[in-house]
Amino acid sequence: MSYVGPDFDPPQPRRSLRGPLTVAIAALVPGALAGWLVWQAVDGGGSGGGSDKAGAAPTSASAPNSPRTSASASATDDGKPGASSPAPTPSSSRPAASGPLKGKVVVIDPGHNPHNFQHASEINRKVDIGTNWKECDTTGTSTNAGYTEAQFTLDVARRMRTILEQQGATVKFTQDGDRSWGPCVDERARIGNAAHADAVVSVHADGSAAGNRGFHVILPAAVHAGAADTRPIVTSSRGLGERIAGLFVRETGSAPSNYIGDGTGLVVRKDLGGLNLSTVPKVFIECGNMRDSKDAALLTSGAWRQKAARGISEGIVSFLRG
Ligand code: ZN
């Protein structure tokens, strides 16, 4: 694939976040939710239309975006060998001693795996997702220029980890570019369950038709079949998803999807093993459409990914703080 050049973002200024961010988030959440409601009122008909101006208020939660040093040696900012990357942040490998999320466990599930392409037989193996059997994992999509969804998801996830650890959370990954493939979707769910996670977010980007734009958050349907029983987590997961959607709008200025979810940015599904098998609050987010050139321009921008990571993280913080 003809990947076009690294997008090199200069390191962002660092600052001590804990105190100011705590205050900022406390002030931000009501505003963000109000903004979200206003947005829905203005453009709630489901036509979408990708108003990039909606909710584009700047945020005070400017966070560093460095991958941690314990990540795979080959992993870089964009997952490419030799790509320019900000300096690692050794101190980010441990949870903060204090902070509003002290004692909270967040599991981040970076969708797919950069190496799944080389492991077709392994990832095509079927696993039981309760409602039916489904492929262990998939390769994910990519932009037309070859920037893969798996690179995107890992990058956003690492940025989220930095932000959430600074808030005191214990953050675990389902994969960190440190496996040759997978894990399978059932294992991804089990990792969140075993961690007794307070919140789990699976990060993705969509591969839809050009012209289809915007993000959507996927919520678990009430499923009770086989090993799947999402009934205890349906309500809490919706709460998590609504917070993430609202703050994603606020931080990125992106509009909810114009092709799914009737303009709400929320979609309920019962066909995803990662949700069906979860026993803890969990959502997916499709951050944009990699196959649309305008969305792809955002998804391949490190600066935009930082905004996306901030929006998702602040949604988690809002949810966990009640
Ligand atoms: Zn995906």
Q: CA–CA separation, 21 vs 244, rounded Å?
A: 17
- Report the separation in Å between the CA atom of 296 and the middle of ligand 1, taken as the mean of its atom positions: 14
pLDDT the model gives residue 220 = 98
Q: CA–CA separation, 25 vs 30, rounded Å?
A: 9
Closest by alpha carbon to 134, among 271, 291, 309, 284?
271
Q: Exactly one of 242, 251, 286, 314 is catalytic; which is it?
A: 286
Closest by alpha carbon to 101, among 317, 277, 265?
317
Retrieve residue 232's tokens. Answer: 């205890």
- Report the separation in Å between the CA atom of 137 and the middle of ligand 1, taken as the mean of its atom positions: 9
pLDDT, tens only, 185-210: 999 999 999 999 999 999 999 999 99
**Ion ligand 1: residues, CB < 5 A:** 111, 140, 204
Q: 3-class DSSP state for residue 253?
A: coil
Place of tokens 């050009």: 210
Report CA 177 to chain centroid distance, whole Å. Answer: 15
- Report the separation in Å between the CA atom of 142 and the middle of ligand 1, taken as the mean of its atom positions: 10
- Report the separation in Å between the CA atom of 7 and the middle of ligand 1, taken as the mean of its atom positions: 21
- Report the separation in Å between the CA atom of 203 and the middle of ligand 1, taken as the mean of its atom positions: 7
pLDDT the model gives residue 96 = 53
Fold of 1-10+104-322: Aminopeptidase (3.40.630)
- Report the separation in Å between the CA atom of 46 and the middle of ligand 1, taken as the mean of its atom positions: 23
Residue-wise pLDDT tens for the chain (322 aa)? 333 333 434 344 444 444 444 444 444 444 443 444 334 433 333 333 333 333 333 333 333 344 453 333 333 333 333 333 333 333 344 545 589 999 999 999 999 999 999 999 999 999 999 999 999 999 999 999 999 999 999 999 999 999 999 999 999 999 999 999 999 999 999 999 999 999 999 999 999 999 999 999 999 999 999 999 999 999 999 999 999 999 999 999 999 999 999 999 999 999 999 999 999 999 999 999 999 999 999 999 999 999 999 999 999 999 999 8
pLDDT, tens only, 21-38: 444 444 444 444 344 433
Q: CA–CA separation, 239 vs 312, rounded Å?
A: 13
- Report the separation in Å between the CA atom of 259 and the middle of ligand 1, taken as the mean of its atom positions: 16
Q: Where are the domains of the chain?
A: 1-10+104-322
What are residue 134's DSSP bridge partners?
127
Q: Is residue 219 within 8 Å of residue 5, measured between CB atoms? A: no
Q: 3-class DSSP state for residue 74?
A: coil
135 is catalytic: no
pLDDT the model gives residue 97 = 59
pLDDT the model gives residue 318 = 97
pLDDT the model gives residue 13 = 43
pLDDT the model gives residue 139 = 96
pLDDT, tens only, 292-319: 999 999 999 999 999 999 999 999 999 9
- Report the separation in Å between the CA atom of 163 and the middle of ligand 1, taken as the mean of its atom positions: 22
Q: Is residue 25 within 8 Å of residue 318, measured between CB atoms? A: yes
pLDDT the model gives residue 9 = 41
Residues near 183 by beta carbon (within 8 Å), at least 6 away in sequence = 113, 137, 174, 175, 191
Three-state SS string over 140-206 comes to CCECCCCCEHHHHHHHHHHHHHHHHHHCCCEEEECCCCCCCCCCCHHHHHHHHHHCCCCEEEEEEEE
pTM: predicted TM-score of the whole model, two decimal places: 0.74
Q: 3-class DSSP state for residue 268?
A: strand
Q: Classify residue 73 as exposed, middle or buried by CB count within 10 Å of its CB (0-12, 13-18, 19+).
A: exposed
